[in-house]
Structure 1
C-alpha cells in the first residue's frame, strides 16, 4: 500500500492507524520521503528521544508494523544539510507531505516478545 500523509499528521500514529484499519497481521515500511516540522528520534544507546524542530527532510524511513506497534528507523536532514537518524518516537509531525510505501506480508504475523539475550521486546515472526 502507498500512503500520503498531510500537514500536521503524526507519522508513527498514522502508520499504526493504517495498519490496524486494514486488519493486517504483518507489514514492512519499505521507504518514506517527505518533510517534517518536528522529528523525535531516539539515538543508539539513549533512553529518551531527541526533538528536532524546523524544516526537516525525510531521507529514509523503514521498519516493521505489528499489533504491538511500529518499530521504525529514520534519517532526516535539517535546512543546513546535517543528517540525523535513529528510532522513530511518537511526535514526528508532517510539515508538507510524507509519501510512504508499505508492504503487507499476508503469510506472516509479527509480534514483539521479550528476548532474554537482549533484554528488549524483539520481533517474532510466525505464520499467519
Structure 2
C-alpha cells in the first residue's frame, strides 16, 4: 500500500478529484481511508433512495471513506451543518469543497478495481481483479 495525501481547494468537486488523483497516480485501485474538511454543497444518497439529496450551506466533513477505481468511486461520507446536525450517505457527484478537504488515499499497487453492473443489486459494484 502506498499513501497519497491530498488537499483539495475551494470549488473542487470532491468525488471527481479523488478519481482524478487515482488516474494521475497511474494505479488502478485505491481506498480513501479518511477525509476531513468543508463543503458548500453535498450530494448524499440515503439508503434505499435512488436520487441524492442536495445539502447547501457551511458543511463540515466528519468522515469520508470508500473504494476508488479508474471507472469511478464508491464513497460514503458524514457531514454536519452549522447547527451540528449530522447526515450521511453515499457521495454523489457535485460535492463542492468550501475551504479545504484533506484526504488520505491508499494506492494498491498490483491490484485492479473495476465497477460492473450487478443485476442482483442494480448498482455498479466493485470487482477485484
Using the size of structure 2 for normalisation, the TM-score is: 0.93
Match of 1:92 in 2: 95
Aligned match for 1:30, one of 33, 36, 44:
33
| Structure 1 residue runs without a partner (length 5+) | none
SS at the partner of 2:126? strand
Displaced runs of 4+ in structure 1, greater than 6 A? Answer: none
Write out aligned runs for 1:42-121 (5 A): 42-121=45-124
**Aligned residue pair count:** 126
Provide the rounded CA distance (Å) in 2 between the counterparts of 1:39 and 1:117. Answer: 28
| Structure 2 residue runs without a partner (length 5+) | none
Query: Which is further off, 76-85 or 12-21?
Result: 12-21
Using the size of structure 1 for normalisation, the TM-score is: 0.94
Provide the rounded CA distance (Å) in 2 between the counterparts of 1:114 and 1:7. Answer: 33
RMSD over aligned Cα atoms: 1.0
